[in-house]
Structure 1
Amino acid sequence: MSNDRLLARRDLEFMLYEWLKVDQLAARERFHAYDRDMFDSVLDLAEHLGTEVFAPINRLLDENEPRMGLDGRVIQPPELLTALRAFGESGLIASTFDEEIGGAQLPYAVRSACMTYLAAGSLATYAYPFLSEANAHLLVTHGTPGQIATFAIPILEGRWFGTMCLSEQQAGSSLGDITTIAVPQEDGTHRVFGSKMWISGGDHELADNIVHLVLARTPGAPVGPRGLSLFIVPRHLPDGSGEPGERNDVTLVGLNHKMGYRGTTNTLLAFGDGAHTPGAQAGAVGFLVGEVGSGLPIMFDMMNEARIGVGAGAVAVGYTGYLHSLAYARERPQGRPMNLKDASAPQVPIIDHPDVRRMLLAQKAYVEGGLALVLFCALLVDEQLTASTDDAAAEATLLLGLLTPIAKSWPSRWCLTANDLAIQVHGGYGYTRDFPVEQFYRDNRLNMIHEGTHGIQAVDLIGRKILRSSDGLRSLWTRMERSIAAATAVGGAPARHAAALAHHIAEVKAALEDTREVEALLANATSGLEAIGHVVVAWLWLEQECVARSGTGAFYEGKRSAAEYFFAHELPIVTPLLDTLRRRDRLFLDLDPNSL
C-alpha cells in the first residue's frame, strides 16, 4: 500500500512537534535517552510495519476469517502469524514500559502515533498485541513481582498474548450480573468455573500462551460489582522454568462471526468444563490479582486504556479511508464543471465538484480532529508520569479521566461517518469490494460497541465524570479559556472561532447547571456526550488553527480550511443536541415499550 493512503506523516509531525511539542519531553528524566531524531526513527519503524507488513494482509484476513478445525483449534492464514512475529521482534509492545522490566520508556504520545499507523494498516492484526499490551500494563501495575515475571514479561517480549474476559452471555455490559465462580484452594490458587462471551483474541495458535484476565466472584461474595475479583487464568500453566506447560481447563466453545474486524478471533470460552483435563481436578487454575473484591476497579485500568485505544483505532481506520477516497477523487474523471455547457469538453476529476470537496473536507475534519484528541490524551498520560509538579500531574489525571469516554466514543462515531463518506466519494465502486473502503466501514462499525457502548460512555461522562465531581470539567474549561484568549489575541478567523467556542461552552454549562431531574438528564446522556465531544474537538481544532495560522503551502491551508469547516458546519449542531438536556426531555423515559 502506498504510504500516502495509510496515514499522513506530515500531519503526525505537525501534531506531535508543532502543536504538542512532544520533542520537549526529551528534557525530562524518564525520556532523557530520546531526541526528535529517535522519535522519528520509532515512527519510521511503525510506518514500515503498518505499510509493508500489516496493510498487505488486511483484505486477506477479511476474506479468510477464523474457523475451527476438527481438533478444536483455530485456523487462520499463516501470513497473520508472520506479521505478528515481525511486530513482536520490533519491541514496540514494551516500548512505554519501564527499562527495569525490558521497556524503553518511550513517551505515550509517540507510542500512540505509532499505534495509529499499525491500526490503519490492519486493525484486526493489531488487536492482538494491543489487548496484550493493556493486559501486561494491568499486571505490572497491580500484580505481584512473581506474577509480573511469570505472565507480564513474556507478553512484553512478544512471545505470549493476553485478553480481558468480562462479558458473559447473560451479562454483556452489565458486569454486576457476572456468574463465573472462583473457588479458593489450599495452595492459594482458585478454580474457575463459568463461561465468557465476546472475548477478542480468546483463542488462536499465534503465540506460545494466552494470558486471560478473568472477572469472577468467590463463594459468598456480595452480589453486584463489589463482589467481583480478578484472576489470571493462562491457557497453559507455566512449568518450573516459566515456559508453557500443561493445558489449563480453558476450552474454546465457538467463534463469533462478525460484520467486520474479522481477522481477530472473537470467542466463547468455557472455564472448568473438564474438556482439556479429563480425570484431573475440575476447574481452570486461576491466580488472584490484588485483593478479593477489588476486581472491577483493577480491571478498569485495562478497560480505560483499551477505551482510548479503541478511539485511536477508529481514527486510524477513518483516516486511511479518507486518504483512499482523496486519492480516488483525484484520479477518477467524471462530469464537467456546472457552468460549462460544452458536452464535448473533457471530463474533470471528481475532486473538482463542490459536493465531493464537501465530503472530503468533512472527513479531514473528523479524522484529524480525532487524531488530535487521542494524541492529546496520550500526552496527558506522559504528564501523569513526568509532570514537574504534583498539581500538574493531578490536573492531567483529572483531564484524562474526563476525556476518556469522549476519546473512546467521539472518534468511534464520527470517524465511522468519515468511512461512510469515503464510500460515497467512490460512488458505485464504494459499495463493491473492488475498493477497500467498504471493509474499512465494516471494521470501524464495531468501535461504537466494544469496550463499552456509545450509550454507556455517555452515562459515564454525564453521570460519573460530571455530576459526581466537577473538578475535571472545571479543569477542561480553564484550559479552553486559555486557548480562547490566545486565539482572540491573534484576530481574524481564530478570533471568530474562539468567540463561537466560548458561546457553546456557555451553552454546555447552562445545560448542566440544573442537577435536578437526574433521571431525565441521564436518559439524554448520548446527546450530551456528542455535544461535549464536539466542543472538545472544536477546541483542539482552534489550537491547531492557531499553530497553522501563519504557515504557507497546501498543508497549512488544509488545516485552516478544516478548522473553518468544523466551526461553520459541525459546531452548530451542539445547540440542538443540548436542547434535550436543557428541557430534561422525558420522551425516552415515559415511552411505553409496547408502542415500539
Structure 2
Amino acid sequence: MPVFKAPVDDTLFILNDVLGYERYMNLPGFSDASPDIVEAVLREGARLSEEVLLPLNQVGDREGCVRHDDASVTTPTGFKDAYRQYCEGGWLGLAAPAEFGGQGLPYTLHTAVSEYLISANMALMMYPGLTQGAIAAIVEHGTEEQKARYLPKMIEGTWTGTMNLTEPHCGTDLGLLRTKALPNGDGSYKISGQKIFISAGDHDMSDNIIHLVLARIEGAPEGVKGISLFIVPKFMVGDDGEPGAKNAVSCGSLEEKMGIHGSATCVMNYDEATGYLIGAENAGLKAMFVMMNEARLGVGLQGHAMGEVAYQNAVAYARDRLQGRALSGPKHPDKKADPIIVHPDVRRTLMTIRAFNEAGRAFMLWTALKSDVKHKSEVEADVQQADDLLSLVTPVVKGVLTDKGFDHAVMAQQMFGGHGYIEEWGMSQYVRDARIAMIYEGANGIQALDLVGRKLGQNGGRAVMAFFKEVGDFCEENRDNPELTLYTKGLKKGLNDLQAATMWLMQNAMAKPDNAGAASTDYMHLFGLVTLGYMWALMAKAAVEKRAAGAEGQEEFLANKLLVGKFYMERVMPETGLRKARIETGSDTMMELAEAAF
C-alpha cells in the first residue's frame, strides 16, 4: 500500500519562521490559534490523514461510487465512516464563522491541514471541499434567513453542498447556459435543466445536499448578464430545520472518469425543482465566483498535495529498489546492487519534485495568509493590498501548482519503472487523480488568459507592480548577505525576466490580442517560477537566521532546506529565460497555419 507522512515540521517552519504567523495575532481567530494550538491541530490532522483517510484511498479507486435504480448514490466502503470521523473532529468548520457553529480559526490553518487530508485521499476530500465553497458563497451573499437555515448543518457536516455551473453544451462560456428559473409567486422558483460534471452531486454521507445552481430567470437578458444563483436543496427544509419531502432534483447518471473514482461526479437533472434566489437577480456569477475563487485555491492545493504524496512514495521506492551500481563506484558493496537513489538522474527527478513541493507549500500558506488579512483585518490599506495580491496570484496557484502536480506525479511514477504502471503500487492512481485538477474550476489555459487578460491590468496594474516591488525590495535588502547571494541573484534575474515579459505584453498585446493568448501559458509559468523562487528566498533567509540564532535541534533540517533551495536556484530558476524567449516570439507562427492544415 502507498505510504504518506504529513509534513508537519515543514509546515511549522513555514508558518512560524518564514511567514511570521505570530505577527497576525491581532486578527480575529488568530488569538484562538496560538502556535502550540496550531501544532496540536496539525498533528491531529496528520493522524486523521495517515490512519483513517490513507487506507481508503485505493479502496475508493477500485470500488468507485454506485448509482442505484432509484437514482441514489452510494460511496465506496469506509468512506461514510471516515467522513463521520472527519465531521466529528470539527474539521469541516475549522475556519467557518463561529456564529453558525464553526470554530472561526484562520483560513491559513485550514489550508495547512487540508494539504495533508488531500494527499491522503483526494477523492474523499472532494465532498467537504465543495461544501466549504458553498458555505463561503452563502456567508457572503445569502440572506440572514438563508444563513440561519443552511449554514449550521453544513458547517457541522450533516448537510453537504455543491456548485452547479456546467451544462452539456456550456463549460467556460457560461453565457450559453439554458437552465431556467420560473417564479412561483411565493418567492421561490421552479428550476429546470441539466447540469454535468457535478462533484458530490449525490451520495450517502449526509442527510441533505444543498445545491447552488446557476440558472436564467424567465425574461432575463441573454449572456452572463442574465444569470442568477439559486439554492436548491435535495430535500426541502421544513420550519423545524429538518429535511422533509424530496425535491425534484436527481442524479441522472455517474460519470465514468479517469481518476478520483471515489468522488461521485454526477449528471444532475432539475425537473421544476424548488429553488431560492441567493444574492440579487442577474448577479449569479458574482455570487458563484466567491465559490469559484475559493475552489481555485483549493484545486491548486490538490495539485500540490498530489505532488507531495507521489514524491514520498517515489523516495521510499528509490531507497529500496536495488539496480546497478553508482557511477562513482559501489555505495553498498555488501549488496548485489546499489539502491537507485544513488544515481544522479534519479536524484535530479526527486530533487526537482521536492524543490517545487516545498516552495509550493510556502506559496499556498503565503496566499492563505493574504486571504485571512483580506477578510479579517480592519486596516483598509492592508485589506486592499491583500485583496490585490490574492486576486493576482489565484490563477497562478491554480494553474502552476496543478500543472506541476501532475508532472510530478508522472515523474514519481517513472521512478518505479514497470511497477509504476501496475495498479497495486498506487502510482497510477496518483497520476490519474492529479490530472483532473488541471481541468476543473477553469482549465489551466483559462487561468493563464485570466492572468494576462484581466489580472495584470486590474486597477491600473496596481497588484503586479506591488508584487514586483515586494520581490525587488527583498533582493535589494539582502544582496549584501553572502549566505543569500545565490538566492538574491537568481531571484533578481528571474524577476528581470518577468518584468521584461510583462513590458513586452504591454507593448504588443493591445494592438494584437493574439500575442496575449499565445504568451499566456508561458507567462503564467514564468510568474510561477518567480513566485516560487521568492518563496525559496524567504525560506533561505529564515533558515540562515534560525541557524545563526541556534538551530534548536534542527541543524539537519535547516541544512537540507538550504540545499534544496540551492538546487531550485541552480536548476529550475534559469527556466525563466526560456519562458521569456517563448513569449517574445509572439503569435505569428502559431496563428499562420491554416485550420485545414491541422
TM normalised by structure 1 equals 0.94
Question: Is 1:500 matched up with 2:493?
Answer: yes
| Deviates further, 286-295 or 380-389 | 380-389
Q: C-alpha offsets along residues 301-343 of structure 1, whole Å, 9 cap, x if unaligned? A: 1000000000011111110111111121122222112133899
Q: 1:510 aligns with which of 488, 497, 503?
A: 503
Question: Is 1:564 matched up with 2:566?
Answer: yes
Question: Is 1:398 matched up with 2:400?
Answer: no
Q: How much has 1:569 moved relative to structure 2?
A: 2.2
Q: How much has 1:27 moved relative to structure 2?
A: 4.0
Q: How much has 1:400 moved relative to structure 2?
A: 0.1
Where do residues 179-328 of structure 1 align in structure 2 (5 Å cutoff)? 179-272=178-271, 283-328=272-317
Q: C-alpha offsets along residues 200-250 of structure 1, whole Å, 9 cap, x if unaligned? A: 000111110000000000111111111100000011001221111101000
Q: 1:579 aligns with which of 570, 578, 581?
A: 581
Instruction: Return closer, same or farther for 1:75/1:38 CA change in 2, 3 Å cut-off.
Output: same
| Deviates further, 585-594 or 59-68 | 585-594
Question: Is 1:330 matched up with 2:316?
Answer: no
Match of 1:476 in 2: 467
Q: 2: CA distance between counterparts of 1:21 and 1:330?
A: 35
Aligned residues of 2:30 and 2:105 also touching (Cα < 8 A): yes
Q: 2: CA distance between counterparts of 1:11 and 1:447?
A: 24
Match of 2:46 in 1: 47
| Deviates further, 339-348 or 288-297 | 339-348
Instruction: Return closer, same or farther for 1:104/1:341 CA change in 2, 3 Å cut-off.
Output: closer
In structure 2, what residue type is equivalent to 1:136? Answer: I
Instruction: Return closer, same or farther for 1:576/1:497 CA change in 2, 3 Å cut-off.
Output: closer
Where do residues 472-551 of structure 1 align in structure 2 (5 Å cutoff)? 472-491=463-482, 492-514=485-507, 515-549=510-544, 551=547
Q: 2: CA distance between counterparts of 1:342 and 1:419?
A: 28
Q: C-alpha offsets along residues 548-584 of structure 1, whole Å, 9 cap, x if unaligned? A: 2353633223222222222222222222322343232
Instruction: Return closer, same or farther for 1:453/1:12 CA change in 2, 3 Å cut-off.
Output: same
SS of equivalent to 1:258: coil
| Deviates further, 97-106 or 544-553 | 544-553
Where do residues 460-475 of structure 1 align in structure 2 (5 Å cutoff)? 460-468=450-458, 469-475=460-466
Where do residues 94-173 of structure 1 align in structure 2 (5 Å cutoff)? 94-173=93-172
Q: Which runs of 5+ in 1 are unaligned?
A: 273-282
Q: Which runs of 5+ in 2 are unaligned?
A: 548-553
SS of equivalent to 2:415: helix
In structure 2, what residue type is equivalent to 1:183? Answer: L
Aligned residues of 1:6 and 1:120 also touching (Cα < 8 A): no
Match of 2:408 in 1: 418
Q: 2: CA distance between counterparts of 1:302 and 1:83?
A: 25
Q: 2: CA distance between counterparts of 1:361 and 1:344?
A: 25
Aligned residues of 2:234 and 2:249 also touching (Cα < 8 A): yes
SS of equivalent to 2:182: strand
SS of equivalent to 1:409: helix
Identity %: 31
In structure 1, what residue type is equivalent to 2:303? Answer: A
Q: 1: CA distance between counterparts of 2:148 and 2:592?
A: 54
| Deviates further, 209-218 or 480-489 | 480-489
SS of equivalent to 1:197: strand
Match of 2:34 in 1: 35
Match of 1:438 in 2: 428
Match of 1:553 in 2: 555
Q: How much has 1:475 moved relative to structure 2?
A: 1.3
Q: 2: CA distance between counterparts of 1:493 and 1:533?
A: 19
Q: 2: CA distance between counterparts of 1:78 and 1:414?
A: 31
Q: 2: CA distance between counterparts of 1:330 and 1:129?
A: 35
In structure 2, what residue type is equivalent to 1:487? Answer: N
Q: C-alpha offsets along residues 124-177 of structure 1, whole Å, 9 cap, x if unaligned? A: 001100110110111011101111111222100110000000000000221111
Instruction: Return closer, same or farther for 1:215/1:29 CA change in 2, 3 Å cut-off.
Output: closer
Instruction: Return closer, same or farther for 1:577/1:213 CA change in 2, 3 Å cut-off.
Output: same
Aligned residues of 1:487 and 1:498 also touching (Cα < 8 A): no
SS of equivalent to 1:216: strand
Q: 2: CA distance between counterparts of 1:417 and 1:589?
A: 27
Q: 2: CA distance between counterparts of 1:238 and 1:288?
A: 15
SS of equivalent to 1:237: strand
Q: 2: CA distance between counterparts of 1:341 and 1:13?
A: 38
| Deviates further, 245-254 or 568-577 | 568-577
| Deviates further, 88-97 or 164-173 | 88-97
| Deviates further, 493-502 or 378-387 | 493-502
SS of equivalent to 1:335: coil
Q: 2: CA distance between counterparts of 1:470 and 1:188?
A: 42
Instruction: Return closer, same or farther for 1:221/1:523 CA change in 2, 3 Å cut-off.
Output: farther
Q: 2: CA distance between counterparts of 1:342 and 1:361?
A: 20
Q: C-alpha offsets along residues 229-283 of structure 1, whole Å, 9 cap, x if unaligned? A: 00000110012211111010002111101111111000101101xxxxxxxxxx1
Q: 2:448 aligns with which of 449, 455, 458?
A: 458
Q: C-alpha offsets along residues 441-487 of structure 1, whole Å, 9 cap, x if unaligned? A: 11001100000001000110000101344111011111111221233
Q: 2: CA distance between counterparts of 1:101 and 1:399?
A: 29
Q: 1: CA distance between counterparts of 2:495 and 2:66?
A: 53
Q: 1:364 aligns with which of 328, 348, 354?
A: 354
Q: 1: CA distance between counterparts of 2:27 and 2:173?
A: 42
In structure 2, what residue type is equivalent to 1:88? Answer: C
Q: How much has 1:30 moved relative to structure 2?
A: 3.8
Cα RMSD for the two superposed structures: 1.9
Match of 2:551 in 1: none
In structure 2, what residue type is equivalent to 1:301? Answer: V
Q: Aligned pairs, how many?
A: 585
SS of equivalent to 2:416: helix
Q: 1: CA distance between counterparts of 2:199 and 2:285?
A: 19
